[in-house]
Protein backbone atom coordinates (compact mmCIF):
# COMPACT_ATOMS: atom_id res chain seq x y z
CA UNK A 1 0.00 0.00 0.00
CA UNK A 2 1.28 3.46 -0.79
CA UNK A 3 2.18 5.45 2.30
CA UNK A 4 -0.12 8.25 1.15
CA UNK A 5 -3.03 5.80 1.08
CA UNK A 6 -3.19 5.37 4.83
CA UNK A 7 -3.07 7.34 8.04
CA UNK A 8 0.68 6.77 8.28
CA UNK A 9 1.00 9.59 5.76
CA UNK A 10 0.83 11.96 8.73
CA UNK A 11 4.60 12.34 8.85
CA UNK A 12 6.68 15.47 8.53
CA UNK A 13 8.15 14.10 5.28
CA UNK A 14 4.72 13.48 3.77
CA UNK A 15 3.64 16.99 4.75
CA UNK A 16 5.90 18.20 1.95
CA UNK A 17 3.42 16.73 -0.53
CA UNK A 18 0.48 18.74 0.73
CA UNK A 19 -0.93 21.01 -1.96
CA UNK A 20 0.59 24.40 -1.38
CA UNK A 21 -2.02 26.79 -2.74
CA UNK A 22 -1.97 30.46 -1.81
CA UNK A 23 -4.47 31.42 0.88
CA UNK A 24 -6.70 34.37 0.16
CA UNK A 25 -7.86 36.57 3.04
CA UNK A 26 -10.46 34.37 4.65
CA UNK A 27 -12.57 37.06 6.20
CA UNK A 28 -14.02 40.31 5.02
CA UNK A 29 -14.14 41.82 8.47
CA UNK A 30 -15.83 44.97 9.66
CA UNK A 31 -14.61 46.27 12.99
CA UNK A 32 -17.04 48.56 14.77
CA UNK A 33 -16.10 50.70 17.77
CA UNK A 34 -19.24 51.08 19.86
CA UNK A 35 -18.17 53.85 22.25
CA UNK A 36 -15.59 56.56 22.79
CA UNK A 37 -13.14 54.31 24.60
CA UNK A 38 -13.29 51.78 21.80
CA UNK A 39 -12.64 54.38 19.10
CA UNK A 40 -9.04 54.93 20.18
CA UNK A 41 -8.41 51.20 20.12
CA UNK A 42 -9.94 50.87 16.67
CA UNK A 43 -7.83 53.75 15.37
CA UNK A 44 -4.61 52.17 16.61
CA UNK A 45 -5.47 48.68 15.39
CA UNK A 46 -6.52 50.08 12.00
CA UNK A 47 -2.95 51.23 11.46
CA UNK A 48 -1.80 47.63 11.06
CA UNK A 49 -1.61 46.33 7.51
CA UNK A 50 -4.88 44.42 7.11
CA UNK A 51 -5.92 42.52 4.04
CA UNK A 52 -9.54 43.57 3.83
CA UNK A 53 -10.69 44.68 7.27
CA UNK A 54 -12.60 47.95 7.48
CA UNK A 55 -12.84 49.98 10.65
CA UNK A 56 -15.95 51.90 11.64
CA UNK A 57 -17.20 54.03 14.48
CA UNK A 58 -20.78 53.87 15.66
CA UNK A 59 -21.72 57.28 17.01
CA UNK A 60 -25.29 56.51 18.00
CA UNK A 61 -28.62 55.49 16.70
CA UNK A 62 -31.71 57.38 15.75
CA UNK A 63 -35.00 56.84 17.54
CA UNK A 64 -36.53 53.50 16.71
CA UNK A 65 -33.26 51.60 16.87
CA UNK A 66 -33.36 50.26 13.35
CA UNK A 67 -30.17 49.49 11.45
CA UNK A 68 -30.96 52.28 9.02
CA UNK A 69 -30.79 54.72 11.91
CA UNK A 70 -27.20 53.94 12.84
CA UNK A 71 -24.88 56.93 12.80
CA UNK A 72 -21.88 55.21 11.33
CA UNK A 73 -18.55 56.58 10.15
CA UNK A 74 -15.43 55.09 8.66
CA UNK A 75 -12.41 55.49 10.87
CA UNK A 76 -11.23 58.35 8.62
CA UNK A 77 -14.44 60.23 9.36
CA UNK A 78 -16.32 59.55 6.15
CA UNK A 79 -20.00 58.75 6.67
CA UNK A 80 -20.96 55.11 6.23
CA UNK A 81 -24.15 53.11 5.84
CA UNK A 82 -24.48 49.79 7.60
CA UNK A 83 -26.14 47.95 4.74
CA UNK A 84 -23.33 49.00 2.40
CA UNK A 85 -20.66 48.05 4.91
CA UNK A 86 -22.21 44.64 5.46
CA UNK A 87 -22.40 43.87 1.78
CA UNK A 88 -19.91 41.04 1.25
CA UNK A 89 -18.78 41.19 4.88
CA UNK A 90 -18.63 37.84 6.65
CA UNK A 91 -17.67 38.84 10.16
CA UNK A 92 -18.36 41.89 12.28
CA UNK A 93 -16.17 42.49 15.30
CA UNK A 94 -17.68 44.89 17.81
CA UNK A 95 -15.45 46.60 20.37
CA UNK A 96 -16.88 48.12 23.56
CA UNK A 97 -15.62 49.54 26.82
CA UNK A 98 -18.99 50.38 28.38
CA UNK A 99 -22.66 49.82 27.68
CA UNK A 100 -23.28 53.09 25.88
CA UNK A 101 -23.25 51.29 22.54
CA UNK A 102 -25.84 48.69 23.53
CA UNK A 103 -28.49 49.95 21.12
CA UNK A 104 -25.96 50.09 18.29
CA UNK A 105 -24.82 46.54 19.09
CA UNK A 106 -28.39 45.38 19.04
CA UNK A 107 -29.07 46.94 15.63
CA UNK A 108 -25.84 45.58 14.17
CA UNK A 109 -26.47 42.16 15.70
CA UNK A 110 -29.96 41.96 14.22
CA UNK A 111 -28.72 43.02 10.79
CA UNK A 112 -25.92 40.46 10.90
CA UNK A 113 -28.31 37.71 11.98
CA UNK A 114 -30.57 38.48 9.03
CA UNK A 115 -27.66 38.42 6.60
CA UNK A 116 -25.94 35.36 8.11
CA UNK A 117 -22.87 37.33 9.14
CA UNK A 118 -20.81 36.08 12.07
CA UNK A 119 -20.46 38.45 15.02
CA UNK A 120 -17.79 38.73 17.67
CA UNK A 121 -17.61 41.10 20.62
CA UNK A 122 -14.58 42.25 22.56
CA UNK A 123 -15.12 44.10 25.80
CA UNK A 124 -12.06 45.96 26.97
CA UNK A 125 -11.42 46.69 30.60
CA UNK A 126 -12.73 45.40 33.89
CA UNK A 127 -15.24 46.44 36.47
CA UNK A 128 -18.81 47.67 36.40
CA UNK A 129 -18.65 49.46 33.08
CA UNK A 130 -17.23 46.50 31.25
CA UNK A 131 -19.69 44.16 32.97
CA UNK A 132 -22.50 46.30 31.63
CA UNK A 133 -20.90 46.19 28.19
CA UNK A 134 -20.68 42.40 28.35
CA UNK A 135 -24.36 42.18 29.23
CA UNK A 136 -25.22 44.51 26.38
CA UNK A 137 -23.18 42.58 23.84
CA UNK A 138 -24.01 39.04 24.96
CA UNK A 139 -27.22 38.63 22.96
CA UNK A 140 -25.62 39.89 19.77
CA UNK A 141 -22.10 38.46 19.68
CA UNK A 142 -21.79 34.79 18.85
CA UNK A 143 -18.32 34.95 20.34
CA UNK A 144 -17.61 37.22 23.26
CA UNK A 145 -14.31 38.00 24.94
CA UNK A 146 -15.38 39.77 28.13
CA UNK A 147 -11.97 40.60 29.54
CA UNK A 148 -10.15 41.54 26.39
CA UNK A 149 -7.31 43.98 25.95
CA UNK A 150 -6.21 45.86 22.88
CA UNK A 151 -3.90 43.09 21.76
CA UNK A 152 -6.86 40.70 21.62
CA UNK A 153 -8.37 42.78 18.84
CA UNK A 154 -5.20 42.53 16.79
CA UNK A 155 -4.79 38.88 17.69
CA UNK A 156 -8.32 37.95 16.64
CA UNK A 157 -8.13 39.83 13.35
CA UNK A 158 -4.73 38.34 12.58
CA UNK A 159 -5.96 34.83 13.29
CA UNK A 160 -8.93 35.44 11.01
CA UNK A 161 -6.65 36.77 8.24
CA UNK A 162 -8.80 39.91 8.25
Partner 1 sequence: MLKKEINDLLTQTGNGTPMGEMFRQYWMPALLAEELPENDSPPVRVKLLSERMIAFRDSLGRYGLIDEFCAHRGASLWFGRNEASGLRCSYHGWKYDVTGQCIEVPSEADNSSFCQNVKLTAYPLVKIGDILWTYMGDPQKTPDLPEWEFAHVAPEQTYTSKRWQQSNWLQAFEGGIDSSHVTFLHSGGLKNDPLFKGAKGNDYNMNDTKPFFEVADSEGGLFVGARRNAEEGTYYWRITPWVMPSFTMVPPRGDHPMHGHFWIPIDDENCWAYSFDYHPVRALTEAERQAMLEGRGVHSKNIPGTYRPVANLDNDYLMDRESQRTGYNYSGVEGIAIQDSSLQESMGPIVDRTKERLVPADSGIIKARQKLRKAVIALRDEGVTPPGVDTAHHHVRSAAIVLPVAESFMDSCREAVSATPGTPQTTV
Closest listed residue to residue 150, CA positions, set 48, 49, 61, 77: 48
Does position 114 interact with partner 1 (CB under 8 A)? The reply is no
Interacting stretch for partner 1, rule CB under 8 A, among 32-40, 63-71, 78-86, 153-161? 153-161
Contact between 27 and 52 under an 8 Å Cβ cutoff? The reply is yes
Question: Which residue of 4, 15, 64, 77 would you call a contact of partner 1, by CB under 8 A?
Answer: 15
Among 40, 66, 114, 147, binds partner 1 (CB under 8 A): 147
Among 2, 6, 79, 127, interactor with partner 1 by CB under 8 A: 6
Assess contact for 91 and 82: CB atoms under 8 A.
no
* Contact between 136 and 61 (Cβ < 8 Å): no
Q: How far is CA 140 from the centre of its chain?
A: 12
144 near partner 1, rule: CB under 8 A = yes
Which three-class secondary structure state does DSSP give residue 28?
coil
Residues that bind partner 1 (CB under 8 A): 6-8, 10-12, 14-15, 23, 26, 91, 93, 118-120, 131, 134-135, 138-139, 141-147, 151-152, 155-156, 158-161
Amino acid sequence: MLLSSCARAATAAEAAYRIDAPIAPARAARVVALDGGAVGVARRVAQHPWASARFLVCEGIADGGSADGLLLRRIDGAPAVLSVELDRADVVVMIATEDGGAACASAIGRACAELGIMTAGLVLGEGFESAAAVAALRPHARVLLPSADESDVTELLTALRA
